[in-house]
Structure 1
Amino acid sequence: MRKRLLTKDRLCRLVGSAEEGCDLCGTDKETHDHLFFQCPYSSRCIQLLSDCCKIELPTSNMEDWWSRKSFQSQTEADILAAILVAALYNVWWMRNHCRINNVLFKPEYVVGNIQNVTRNRCKNRWQDIMSFHWLHL
């Protein structure tokens, strides 16, 4: 990720906005790293995904997701990438939804969306998808 999303820290630098707090947790300055990995809300989403997928998902930064070497196959690596993309999109969507509508859904809702998107994306791409037990989300 190129860190080009308009998080509050970037907006503050670009237009001088004074509000920098995270909409999801309200506890820290909203940066890319905070929003996707350090925020208690997104950390809970990643933990729920790890639990249901029965694999350990990296929780510290983006590079950890892309540099995993413990894949059994390229297909498994591609599935993890699909999970990452869906997770990033859904956390960003929830952040915007919360900011616009002042409504925050439970992490379980976001994880359900991530599961559905990943499952559908993978089924359309790989025929042998059912051999991956952790995609039975």
Structure 2
Amino acid sequence: MKSGYDWVRGFHTSVPWCHLVWNTLNLPKTSFICWAIMHCRLLTKDRLIRMGMNVDPLCDICRVCSEDHQHLFVDCSYFLYYFKLLLDSLRLNVQPATVAHWFSNARNVPKLQKRVFGATYVALLYQIWMCRNEARVSQFVRRPEIVVQQVLNGVKLRFQRLNVSKLKHRDSVWFLSL
């Protein structure tokens, strides 16, 4: 039976970020946006220009560099500040360029912390995309502190609604301190 299922499904190589994107703590809309980011499929300005559209190439959030996936979700000074606030709130040390690698290789990090970090990171990517779209339309960028607090509150609420199985004491202390 398993071999038949595998044959129908086909054989695919696993990517290091699959558990980051398809974490059960993620909302489907955040998982989809993260998947699109990992495949460079969002309509960033560099893609719009390649499609022949006449748009200003500067990032609508920082107004300093040309907007592409690498800039918007790794190099942008606003993203780095949002990311630092998020990590400070979670008390973790991760570099944005190595998140997928860290996520797949962090064996000494408790499972709950890894899942919560993954969900908050994916939610942050989603919020960055929403901030970019708001800035594009209204020339207004939300304060990073508010965005990060929304991300944390959303993940906490999702976690509580899913009623995840019993927590170890150290995990519950860490989670309640967020």
TM-score interval, smaller chain: 0.7 to 0.9
Find runs of 4+ consecutive structure 1 residues off by over 6 angstroms: none
**Aligned-residue identity in percent:** 31
1:63 maps to a residue whose letter is A
Q: In 2, are the aligned partners of 1:55 and 1:134 still within 8 Å (CA)? A: no
Verify: 1:11 aligned to 2:48, yes or no: yes
Three-state SS of the structure 2 residue aligned to 1:60 is helix
Verify: 1:34 aligned to 2:75, yes or no: no
Normalising by the residue count of structure 2, what TM-score does the alignment of the two structures yield? Answer: 0.68
Normalising by the residue count of structure 1, what TM-score does the alignment of the two structures yield? Answer: 0.86
Verify: 1:20 aligned to 2:20, yes or no: no
Which protein has greater RCO, CA pairs closer than 8 Å, 6+ apart?
A: 2
Give the match for residue 174 of structure 2. Answer: 133
Report how far residue 8 of structure 1 moved: 0.5
Structure 2 matches for 1:1-137, cutoff 5 A? 1-60=38-97, 63-64=100-101, 66-125=103-162, 126-127=164-165, 128=167, 131=172, 133=174, 136-137=177-178
CA deviations over 1:66-115 (Å, ceiling 9, x no partner):
33414433333221221121111101011101111111121111111111
Classify 1:70/1:19 alpha carbon distance in 2 versus 1 (closer, same or farther; 3 Å).
same
Kindly tell me the number of residue pairs found equivalent between the two proteins.
137
Q: Which has the larger radius of gyration?
A: 2
Q: Provide the alpha-carbon RMSD of the alignment.
A: 2.1
